[in-house]
Amino acid sequence: MELRTLGNTDIRVSPVALGCWPIAGMTSPGANDEDSLATIRACFELGINHLDTAFMYGRAGESERLIARALGPRRHEMVIATKGGLHWGPDGNMAHDGSPETLRRECEESLGRLQTDRVDLLYLHAPDANVPIAESAGALKRLMDEGKTRAVGVSNFSVAQLEAFAAECPLAAFQPPYNMLRRQIEADTLPWCREHGVAVLVYWPLLKGLLAGKLGRDHVFAETDSRRKYTMFHGEHWQKNLDLIDKLRVIAEAAGHTVAELVINWTINQPGVTSTLCGAKRPDQIRETAAGTGWQLSKDQMTQIDRALAERGTPDAEAPV
């Protein structure tokens, strides 16, 4: 698999990375350690060299602990990213804390769980409204200067927040949500990152499984399935989205690929996108998304995709019911 340069660093990452949220098991029914370890280890054979995790992936850092178990002495072969600034509060809800003290503590705990003396990329998971961005940026710069991370990134930022952060700390990477149905970054943060040499590593490329092409019109989401709260999985939006999938399937099959492979290929070839973070809890899942690399959609196929997306229209992919 080709490797791409991470911003203005000497770090090289694969265009498909393993997103390690599903292996934490919190919102992934059926996740288990055996499959999770096999999924991480499958990355070696697939040429995937980038693993993306976070302090909060799991109630007790399960994702980071599994990565350490899976890699063992091969840790040096992987570019590991983790994040700080978000954690689970005593009430079980997600809590923001971008204070320097917390970022340092969470970094140290993450390094311990990962059984390594440094990570390759350390993100501020999200801005904290109660802490000036300059303070969070300064804390991450100090951790980088101390050798605890090779590079620093941010996630879920606006352009103004990116500028404020970059004024205090060298910024190598930006991680936003992005996919065929959620393209807001094309109007603001993606151009900014291209102009400033910041790598863009996107999450939700398959939009919570919707764009994988495996959900039928009669699919019933379990009561515990978090997707039930999004309008894109209900009513008219749901039917329009599946109409789009039907059109993408025709294009994919003509190209000799699955819908998921086509969607990943489209995503990693958008201008300014460095890598796409593909969540998986089983080896077959990451194998399919990895197969979205190594080939190129033709100009005609891209035109067909653009037409299908235009016919779908722009949905509000974020809105809860």
Whole-number Cα distances in Å, 258 to 56, 164, 243, 273: 32, 41, 16, 21
Across 50-69, average pLDDT: 97
Q: Is the pLDDT of residue 321 over 50?
A: no
Average pLDDT over residues 246-255: 97
- The two counts, helices (H) then strands (E), for the chain are 10, 12
Among 115-124, 225-234, 239-248, the least confident range = 225-234
Structure confidence by residue, pLDDT tens digits, 160-209 = 999 999 999 999 999 999 999 999 999 999 999 999 999 999 999 999 89
The total number of structural domains in the chain stands at: 1
According to the model, what pLDDT value does residue 191 have? Answer: 98
Task: Give first-to-last CA distance, the chain, whole Å.
Answer: 40
Q: Over pLDDT 90: what percentage of the chain?
A: 87
pLDDT surpasses 80 at 311? yes
Residue 181: inside a domain, yes or no?
yes
- Asked whether residue 14 is assigned to any structural domain, the reply reads yes
Residue 38 resides in a domain = yes
pLDDT value at 300 more than 80: yes
DSSP state of 176: -
On whether residue 129 sits in a domain, the answer given is yes
What's at 292, amino acid-wise? G
Answer yes or no: is pLDDT of 272 > 50.
Answer: yes
For residue 123, is it within any domain? yes
Active site residue 123: no
Residue 218's pLDDT is what? Answer: 84
Crossing angle for the helix pair 159-166 and 189-196, to the nearest 10 degrees: 30
Among residues 170, 187, 169, which one has the least CA distance to residue 178? 187
Q: Provide the residue range defining the domain that includes 112.
A: 4-208+260-296
- Does the pLDDT at position 158 exceed 80? yes
Q: Are 126 and 155 in contact (CB under 8 A)?
A: yes
Q: Is residue 314 assigned to a domain?
A: no
Is residue 113 assigned to a domain?
yes
Q: Which of 57, 123, 178, 203 is catalytic?
A: 57
- We report the CATH number of the domain holding residue 137 as 3.20.20.100
pTM of the complete model beyond 0.75: yes
The pLDDT of residue 271 is above 50: yes
pLDDT computed for residue 316 by the predictor: 59
253 is a domain residue: no
